[in-house]
């Protein structure tokens, strides 16, 4: 039994709009990440992936509010902690985050090194500049970035370099778990590969112990992570190992996502892309039954009546649908 780094139990968070409406973007999400493992979160835009990433850090600022649930990082329950304590002792050192638009995360008027100084000194005000410089140089070189980057302004760096700088900065305090929110969506394939290689290196060299990777690119997720969780309208709809979810999806939504994969491999030209019709439901007043019912091909009248529970198949595999595993597989075979 390996060490559990991050455990989340029934976490629910909400956004409050200007008109005082509650939007539950993360709805009773439970997950577990073990040491040395990586978890992928898939789903289309607007399904709550990024909100989940923000909520996992336990640091809430309006309009995002905590509702219920527990977050346990390496045995320490951080729910209900003073936000200032969380910022000082949890963020950066225990759990760290790469924002989606990392290209714009750097301050254009600051050199990279002074940005890093700010980060380190916020946690340890007694570190000298020389110490910080040595620390930064060491980690930059380890990650394949030249140390000269430290003395540059962000505008002098290319998109891929900026992204890697942000990653290197986010792990400078050796967090136990890193959340990467679409780190490669704005990059071309070559820079994307460099970023992925860097994240893998981080895991192997022990900078971080576990990784949560969020993206909508399934081939990428399949190659990077051990486990995949598919989210839809704030809920987990399917959970399993990468191989199971990609090649043998159970939930109709996960199945639909697999239809949008494009890879340059033999025979892929003749495979027809299948898009899921419609758009995700408005979470202001979600439907009472299954949230995917409106867009589902296999919908039944009983789907729309009551909320559907996450149904556990066996160790770690789960899906949220009223149909049985057998019925679903049969339906896919006949499709």
Least Cβ distance, residue 263 to another protein (angstroms): 5
Least Cβ distance, residue 286 to another protein (angstroms): 18
Of 26-34, 86-94, 263-271, 318-326, the segment contacting another protein by CB under 8 A is 263-271
**Contacts with another protein, 126-165, as mask; x by CB under 8 A:** --------------------------------xx------
* Chosen residue from 2, 82, 189, 301 binding another protein by CB under 8 A: 189
Least Cβ distance, residue 151 to another protein (angstroms): 22
Alpha helix (H) residue ranges in the chain: 49-56, 83-89, 112-123, 129-142, 159-170, 189-204, 218-224, 242-247, 252-258, 325-334
Q: What string of DSSP letters covers 3-37?
A: PEEEEEEEEEEEEE-TT--EEEEEEEEEEEEETT-
Least Cβ distance, residue 191 to another protein (angstroms): 7
Asked if residue 59 lies in contact with residue 248, where contact means CB atoms within 8 angstroms, the answer is: no
What residues between 4 and 43 interact with another protein by CB under 8 A?
none
List the 317-319 sheet strands across, edge first.
95-98, 177-181, 210-214, 38-42, 227-232, 235-241, 317-319, 311-314
Q: Is 84 left (phi over 0), alpha (psi -120 to 50) or beta?
A: alpha
* Chosen residue from 16, 122, 262, 335 binding another protein by CB under 8 A: 262
Minimal CA–CA distance to 157: which of 234, 218, 224, 105?
A: 105
Residue 218 touching another protein (CB under 8 A): yes
Q: Closest CB to another protein among 84 and 265?
A: 265
Residue 326 touching another protein (CB under 8 A): no
* Chosen residue from 172, 194, 254, 328 binding another protein by CB under 8 A: 194
The count of other CB atoms within 10 Å of the CB of residue 223 is 13
Binding region for another protein (CB under 8 A): 44-46, 158-159, 186, 188-194, 196-197, 200, 216-220, 222-223, 246, 256-257, 259-266, 268-269, 273-277, 279
């Amino acid at each position: 039994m390996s060490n559990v780094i991050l455990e989340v139990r029934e976490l629910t968070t909400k956004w409050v709009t200007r008109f005082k409406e509650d939007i539950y973007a993360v709805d009773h999400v439970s997950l577990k990440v073990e040491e040395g493992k990586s978890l992928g979160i898939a789903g289309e835009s607007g399904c709550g992936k990024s909100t989940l990433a923000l909520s996992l850090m336990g640091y809430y600022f309006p309009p995002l509010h905590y509702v219920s649930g527990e977050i346990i990082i390496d045995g320490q329950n951080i729910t209900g902690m003073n936000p200032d304590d969380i910022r000082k002792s949890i963020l950066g050192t225990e759990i760290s985050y790469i924002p989606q638009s990392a290209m714009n995360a750097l301050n254009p008027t600051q050199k990279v090194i002074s940005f890093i100084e700010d980060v380190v000194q916020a946690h340890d005000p007694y570190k000298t500049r020389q110490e910080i410089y040595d620390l930064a140089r060491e980690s930059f070189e380890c990650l394949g970035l030249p140390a000269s980057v430290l003395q540059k302004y962000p505008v002098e760096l290319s998109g891929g370099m900026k992204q890697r700088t942000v990653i290197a900065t986010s792990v400078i305090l050796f967090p136990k778990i890193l959340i990467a929110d679409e780190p490669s969506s704005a990059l071309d394939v070559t820079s994307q590969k460099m970023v992925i290689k860097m994240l893998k290196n981080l895991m192997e060299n022990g900078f971080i112990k576990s990784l949560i990777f969020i993206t909508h690119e399934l081939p990428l997720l399949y190659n990077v992570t051990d486990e995949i969780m598919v989210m839809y309208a704030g809920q987990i709809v399917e959970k399993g190992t990468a191989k199971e979810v990609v090649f043998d999806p159970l939930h109709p939504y996960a199945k639909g996502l697999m239809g949008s994969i494009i890879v340059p491999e033999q025979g892929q030209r003749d495979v027809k892309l299948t898009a899921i019709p419609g758009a995700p439901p408005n979470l202001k007043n979600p439907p009472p039954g299954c949230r995917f019912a409106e867009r589902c091909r296999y919908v039944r009248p009983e789907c729309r009546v009551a909320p559907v529970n996450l149904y556990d198949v066996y160790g770690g595999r789960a899906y949220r649908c009223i149909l049985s595993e057998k019925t679903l597989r049969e339906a896919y075979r006949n499709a």
